[in-house]
Amino acid sequence: MLLRSTRIVTVFAAVVAGLVTMGYAEEAKKPIRVGIIGLDTSHVIAFTKVINDPAAEGDLADLKVVAAFPGGSPDIPSSWDRVGKYTDQLREQGIKIHDSIEAMLAEVDAVLLESVDGRPHLEQAKPVIAAKKPMFIDKPMAGSLADGLEIFRLAKEAGSPVFSSSSLRYAAGLQDIRDGKSPVGEIIGCDAYSPCSLDPHHPDLFWYGIHGVETLFTVMGTGCQSVSRTHTEDTDFVVGTWAGGRIGTFRGTRAGKHSYGATAFGTKAIQQVGNYDGYKPLVERIAVFFKTGEPPVSAEETIEILAFMEAADQSKAEDGAVVTIESVMEKARRKNAERK
C-alpha cells in the first residue's frame, strides 16, 4: 500500500513539474510587446512591417508591435499631415491606439519613440523612463543638445536603458570599419555626405543632416574637439577636428539627386562605404536591445553627435568660426541647470 502511494505521489509530482515546465515554455514564447510614440513618420510603418512580419526570424521574431500613441506637432506640416494616415494604417493592422502615453505603457514591454519632431522627445521620454521600459529614440534624438543631455541623465538615474541612432549607422561597410574588420586599417579621416533638408524649429543638421553626421561618427568614433561650417543655399560643409589631428567632414545637400555615403581614409587603404541598406539592419539591433537592455550605441557618442550638430549651427551664426565641442556642452549644461 505504501509503495503504491509513493508511486502515485511520484507520478503526480512529475505531472506537476511537466505543467510548470510547459508554463515557463509558454511564457518564454510570449513576444516582447512594443509600443510606438509618435505616428507622424514613415519609419512607423516601415519598422512595424519589419517587426510584425509573419516570416520574421531571429531576434525580430521575438517582438510584436501591439500599441501606439499618435502624438503629432501642429506647427510642422510633415507631422500633422501624416499622423492621421499612419494612425489609421496601424489601427487597420489591429494595433491598439491609445490617447495617452501612460495608457499605452501599461500594455507594452518596450517603446519606439518615433515622433518626427525632436522637441517633444524629452517630455515624451519621461514617463517611459519612469516606467523603466527600454526605449529606442529615433532621429533626431531631441530638439537640442540640452534636451538630449537631460534624457540621458534621467535614464541613467532611473537605470532605464535608452539609445538613439540613424539607420545609416548600419549601412553597408560601416560596422566592419567600426569593428576593425575592414582592410582600411586605422582610420585617419572620413568624408561623409547625405541629404540635409532643414526645419526652422530645429538646429539645421538635426532635421535630416543627422544621417550623414551619424555616418561620419560611425567611422571616426568619439573625440571630436571642434567644428566649423561653411554653407550656401544648396550645401552645408562641416569640418570636425578630432583628437590627434584627425579630420572628418560632412557635406549636406538640398538640391539634385540625394544619396548617402562616405569615403573612409585609413592607414592601409581608402574605402567607399555607407550606401543605404534600408531599415532592417537598425531594427535588428533594436530587437537585440529590447531583449538585453544593452544599448548598441553609447550615450557618450550620441551626445557628441548632438554637440557636433549644435556647434555647426553656432559656427553658421558666427560666419564659419571654429566652435569647440566643450563650449556647446557647457552652454547646454548651464541651460539644464537653470531649468531645474
Identify the CATH homologous superfamily for domain 28-167.
NAD(P)-binding Rossmann-like Domain (3.40.50.720)
Alpha-carbon gap, residue 263 to 190, rounded angstroms = 6
Tens-place pLDDT, residues 185-219: 999 999 999 999 999 999 999 999 999 999 999 99
Alpha-carbon gap, residue 286 to 136, rounded angstroms = 7
Alpha-carbon gap, residue 215 to 253, rounded angstroms = 15
Predicted confidence at residue 277, as pLDDT, reads 85
Predicted confidence at residue 256, as pLDDT, reads 60
Considering only the top CATH level, what class is 168-338? alpha beta
In the chain, how long is the greatest CA-to-CA distance?
97
Which residues make beta-bridge pairs with 236?
231, 252
Query: What grid cell was written down for 300?
Result: 557618450
Q: Is pLDDT at 140 greater than 50 in this prediction?
A: yes
Alpha-carbon gap, residue 17 to 23, rounded angstroms = 10
Which residues make beta-bridge pairs with 231?
236
Predicted confidence at residue 230, as pLDDT, reads 97
- Secondary structure (3-state) at 144: coil
Q: Domain-by-domain residue ranges, the chain?
A: 1-27, 28-167, 168-338
Tens-place pLDDT, residues 316-334: 999 999 999 999 999 999 9
Tens-place pLDDT, residues 256-285: 667 899 999 999 999 999 988 899 999 999
